Amino acid sequence: MRVFVGTDHAGLEFKDHLKQALADAGHEPVDCGAFGYDAEDDYPPFCFEVGERTVVEPGSLGVVIGGSGNGEQIAANKVPGVRAALVWNRSTAELARQHNDANVVAIGARQHGVEEATELVLHFLATPFSGEERHARRIGLVTDYEQNRHRPAGGLPTRAET
């Protein structure tokens, strides 16, 4: 599987390790940056690149890495079609794929040791979407809102009524 990987300076060393681990596991890692250490770089461009490339290539997945993974998840989720999930243990990695069909995983390089973070990413990649109707329906609701800002009938308002 092709796996797009991007990070800012906070995850640069982990990204290099992860690319080798992905290749060793039979995946095709594609480096979306950063390509050198710059303490002042900004993570959103790398996350947008991972997200855009993942969305346009069916069957691929993405990995965004930062210090905590929080901002990277937020940035990746701004790309239409991305469902990025921050993972911090095996259960969240598994459920992100099984229930949410997440196509991008966010990981905090400063939150885990290298081996644990690698295991979480590999577990995410190895877990298939369950395909259960209730999960597919929920993903459809999110996709419909993302594309058309259409809330399901009976949905709660998103702003206060005046």
Scanning the structure block, which residue is given the tokens 């929080």? 70
103 is known to lie in a ligand binding site: no
100 annotated as a binding-site residue? yes
Catalytic residue flag (residue 99): yes
Residue 89 is assigned to a ligand binding site: no
Say if residue 134 carries a ligand binding annotation.
Answer: yes
β-strands 104-108, 2-7: how paired?
Answer: unpaired
Catalytic residue among 27, 52, 72, 123: 72
Is 66 known as a binding-site position? Answer: no
140 annotated as a binding-site residue: no
Local structure of 103: helix, strand or coil: coil
Check 13, 99, 119, 146 and give the catalytic one: 99
Task: Determine the Cα–Cα distance for residues 3 and 46; give it in Å rounded to an integer.
Answer: 14
Report the distance separating Cα 103 and Cα 3, nearest Å: 10
Q: 138 — phi, psi (to 5°)?
A: -65, -40
Enzyme catalytic residues: 72, 99
Question: Which residue numbers belong to the known binding site for D-ribulose 5-phosphate?
Answer: 8-9, 67-71, 100, 110, 134, 138
Q: Which residues are annotated as a binding site?
A: 8-9, 67-71, 100, 110, 134, 138
